[in-house]
Structure 1
């Protein structure tokens, strides 16, 4: 073998060794992370949902990668703490479970902080729910966002006549505006300016849609949609899909679509009911929400630790880099997003301990280079469980074969287990026993 041939072999060997995601990040792609609110996989067309058309989201799946085993916490707040920090909320003690708050010791180590460290312009628009904005107008800045446009959670409306804080100030021009349009337009403007400045952007889009309105005003209800009512769940799903389509279309118009990685997921399952109007006695009326998925009627399960409350869509799209129309069964939970976008942004693993495991290698066709995720964790207040693709163990001892029994109807008794069931029960028991206390370096 001559010198040239030897050199070629050497270079080829290096190319095979280096993860594909590192090649993909040479030009630092823009990243758009979309987190819809209260939308389970049962509500999305490409996951077999037949109740609500979602053409724009389905198009992302057709041109990208769809995960079949993505999970969130059962409700909004713990999911957001987990996504922002790459840690399970219980790691922060009481500070991680305090509703509408954020652990002080997590400031400086969030997903926004990491993307700033990678040289990205950062912005967030939509639903925050990590503080009372009126009491802490600069909170998004401390956790890594250069700009923000967020409705005042439990301070006023999120849709019609929205109460919106933008970059530290309360907007005084939103009374006639539709909140979801405001959040989308803000992010689009941010992305345009960042691109014009020659800087890659990280746009975090925690959508207000499709959470129903809340009774946040003391003397009156938040503004109606029309006809003396708020939006139906189906109308919110349609608007959610429209907003996703609008933001994606703006990337095409800017000419940056091929250099922008889009992640679409949601914060928990579909709600069991959604506020629609007010009765004659002044009480808010909340009709039930059900979806049809793969020919079955699926009641909304938000708040439950089963699949109806925690199994969520996850779609990742990047033209020319992620193979279109791909379905994968790798497990992902909310702690995985921070290390994933950090790796794609070209950052080395930080010294800060995380629960999350990057799934970037899966995106670029090298799943064997991902540290194996054999289980995911779900927790809400004093309830928690771990599950593998086929088995699920609750901290109170309940054990199910969720591959054969996804509805968790047939409890398996620990003292009667044999073979594969007994082995998996022992493995998940060990996992649960280790999931306690703060993370240690």
Structure 2
């Protein structure tokens, strides 16, 4: 089951790149980093009762934040992502199942997305990771759905090192093919750090980080 578990640990080394401001000049709008852990079970983390894997840093984050225990989530990729992007039940967005590669459909264009709303509110918006809400036409791709910056994969189930699925490259930067080499999780985190370091100092940042693996 997909679980909206925050994995901020992977970004701690680069969070210092966010500009600091004096207390009397604090920005009215906060920077937002939303991390989606793919295929992470509810009880995999220690703070939810997991005992098989030690997660001390995640447990620390949970103790210092909000641990939500009553929520609605889907067991597959695309419906969960559509709910996150729209704030609506997947049954309302028409995303009932996984959007397959090159399938002639995706998240409906009339659906307003979270990055679209935040961009209109003055945010710089970026996605580093897995989209999985349609790509068969350019209008369905991340840069047309509210993201100023895009990096990562459109589909799912790619090879983590070659970034191929059925012999086809699925790795993109701003919706153009990208042949960066390396383990996908490391590349996604590295790009997130770059975005944080190079963000527009005059705008708050919304960074969506849907990792391809836990």
TM-score normalized by the length of structure 1:
0.38
8 A Cα contact 1:120 1:202, kept in partner = yes
- Partner-residue secondary structure (3-state), 2:155: coil
Q: Distance in 2 between matches of 1:39 and 1:124?
A: 20
Deviation per residue, 1:300-323 (Å, 9 max, x gap):
xxxxxxxxxxxxxxxxxxxxxxxx
- Partner-residue secondary structure (3-state), 1:67: coil
Alignment match, 1:41: 42
Alignment RMSD (CA, Å)? 2.2
Alignment match, 1:97: 96
Q: Distance in 2 between matches of 1:84 and 1:206?
A: 12
Alignment match, 1:207: 211
Q: CA deviation at 1:152?
A: 4.0
Q: CA deviation at 1:102?
A: 1.3
Alignment match, 2:191: 186
8 A Cα contact 1:151 1:165, kept in partner = yes
Alignment match, 2:55: 54
Q: Distance in 1 between matches of 2:175 and 2:91?
A: 30
Q: Distance in 1 between matches of 2:157 and 2:172?
A: 11
Alignment match, 1:365: none
Detail structure 1 runs of 4+ shifted over 6 Å in the superposition: none
Work out which of the residue numbers 112, 117, 127 in structure 2 matches 1:114: 117
- Partner-residue secondary structure (3-state), 1:199: coil
Q: Distance in 1 between matches of 2:74 and 2:180?
A: 35
Q: CA deviation at 1:56?
A: 2.5
Alignment match, 1:27: 28
8 A Cα contact 1:138 1:167, kept in partner = no
Q: Distance in 2 between matches of 1:89 and 1:63?
A: 31
Q: Which runs of 5+ in 1 are unaligned?
A: 1-24, 211-441
Deviation per residue, 1:3-34 (Å, 9 max, x gap):
xxxxxxxxxxxxxxxxxxxxxx9621100111
Q: CA deviation at 1:156?
A: 3.7
Q: Which runs of 5+ in 2 are unaligned?
A: 1-25, 100-105, 164-169
Q: CA deviation at 1:55?
A: 2.5
Work out which of the residue numbers 131, 134, 146 in structure 2 matches 1:131: 134
Q: Distance in 2 between matches of 1:78 and 1:142?
A: 19
Q: CA deviation at 1:96?
A: 2.8
8 A Cα contact 2:32 2:207, kept in partner = yes
Q: CA deviation at 1:154?
A: 4.7
- Partner-residue secondary structure (3-state), 1:173: coil
- Partner-residue secondary structure (3-state), 2:119: helix
Q: Distance in 2 between matches of 1:71 and 1:138?
A: 25
Distance 1:77 1:199, change over 3 A: same
Work out which of the residue numbers 146, 150, 155 in structure 2 matches 1:148: 150
* Greater strand proportion: 1
Larger Rg: 1
Q: Does 1:164 align with 2:171?
A: yes
Q: What is the total number of aligned residue pairs between the two structures?
A: 177
